Structure 1
Amino acid sequence: MELQHKQFHNHEVEYWIRSAREEDAKRLSEIRLKIDGETENLDREQGEDYIDEKAFKQLIKEDAQRGNNLFLVSEVNGEIVGYSRCEGKVLKRSAHKAEFGLAILKAFWGLGIGGNLLRETVHWADEAGIKKVTLNVMETNDKAINLYKKFGFVIEGILKKDKQLSDGEFYNTVMMARFHGE
């Protein structure tokens, strides 16, 4: 599915959300690497599970062809500053589900970009007939957990001592889901 440009304003900043295009691949590779170094809220450390421009192009192309995938980007002044992706399952018994994730450059946190990426994804999932959207979030990421709850996500479970962060301590991962029609 393709999302046309949608404009948003917050704190004197104008930004756009739209579907990812193949020409975004280089920038997506760059900002994913940068974001991984800015936060420990994600699964990876900077440089781990690197996705290069070619791989991002392929991912964008495949997502555009699959009706149960959605890849969105957010732009400020024509520059991509964040993205979200919802990947549907291909196995028949799981075809009603999709997994959501998002990442935003730290300089653009607090502008509502994450909420609007999530809002567009939830709307798309409902329209696409996806019955369950899942995500994982670090237990320490209270802002994200509260945002997800505002959009109808509930906690399904906890993965205990799931991630070891730079302080050497182990942290839990919260598994959340949103069920269409509930």
Structure 2
Amino acid sequence: MNVNIRNIKEEDAGAFLELCLRLDRETEFMLLEPGERMITPEEQRQKITALLAADDSMIFVAEMDGQLVGYLGAYGSSYRRNRHSAYLVLGILQTFSGKGVGTALFTELHRWAEARNLHRLELTVMAHNAAAIALYKKTGFEIEGFKKDLIRLGDKFIDELYMAKLLA
């Protein structure tokens, strides 16, 4: 599988929004439910423009045959006390799950994080998302804790795990 990992560009706004909307529809593992993401392509472009202007955040996209199939967002902090860390959000279309896309995205993320002297990468994941947890552990993340019943899926409450990786 030939996947191209690259930094997001402003002109990706429409395709990136469509990717996010599709992820909202096809998986329960993303935070937003179908129909809850209320943003226009122009607003998405503005968010990407602002993100690219900051040195502490980036969205890496996975592209195959001209189509965005996944992304990994790294969102830093502008506060001095935690500027060394970034919060991560991963989304991969189900068709491409388990095919190395996530590993490729994390490889690019680690290069970016090391170039910025980041020390901590952190994320949250629903406790029943075994595939994501396996990917995160494979790439060096450890479980630090959890929040009980944080996510509501239909009539069920789901725990959310906190995971982090410390860099050199």
TM-score w.r.t. the length of structure 1 is 0.87
Verify: 1:57 aligned to 2:38, yes or no: no
Instruction: Report the Cα offset of residue 123 of structure 1.
Output: 2.1
Q: How does 1:94-109 map to 2 (within 5 A)?
A: 94-109=82-97
2:158 paired residue number = 171
Instruction: Report the Cα offset of residue 49 of structure 1.
Output: 3.4
Instruction: Report the Cα offset of residue 55 of structure 1.
Output: 2.1
Verify: 1:86 aligned to 2:71, yes or no: no
1:68 paired residue number = 56
| 1:100-151 deviation digits (Å, cap 9, x = unpaired) | 1111122221211111111211221122111111100010111111111122
Q: Which ranges in structure 2 are unaligned for 5 or more consecutive residues?
A: none
* Count of aligned pairs: 168
2:24 paired residue number = 36
> RMSD of the alignment, in Å?
1.2
Tell me, in whole angstroms, the C-alpha distance in 2 between the residues paired with 1:94 and 1:110: 32
Instruction: Report the Cα offset of residue 52 of structure 1.
Output: 2.3
Identity of aligned residues (%): 35
Given the superposition, is the C-alpha separation of residues 51 and 112 from structure 1 closer, same or farther in structure 2, using an over 3 Å criterion? farther
Q: Which ranges in structure 1 are unaligned for 5 or more consecutive residues?
A: 1-12
TM-score w.r.t. the length of structure 2 is 0.94
Verify: 1:122 aligned to 2:86, yes or no: no
Give the letter aligned to residue 122 of structure 2: T
Decide which of 131, 134, 140 is 2:128's aligned counterpart: 140
Give the letter aligned to residue 79 of structure 2: L
Give the letter aligned to residue 14 of structure 2: K
Instruction: Report the Cα offset of residue 40 of structure 1.
Output: 0.8
Tell me, in whole angstroms, the C-alpha distance in 2 between the residues paired with 1:33 and 1:95: 30
Instruction: Report the Cα offset of residue 91 of structure 1.
Output: 1.3
1:77 paired residue number = 65
Tell me, in whole angstroms, the C-alpha distance in 2 between the residues paired with 1:49 and 1:78: 24
Tell me, in whole angstroms, the C-alpha distance in 1 between the residues paired with 2:42 and 2:133: 33
Give the letter aligned to residue 163 of structure 2: M
| 1:151-175 deviation digits (Å, cap 9, x = unpaired) | 2211111000111113x11110000
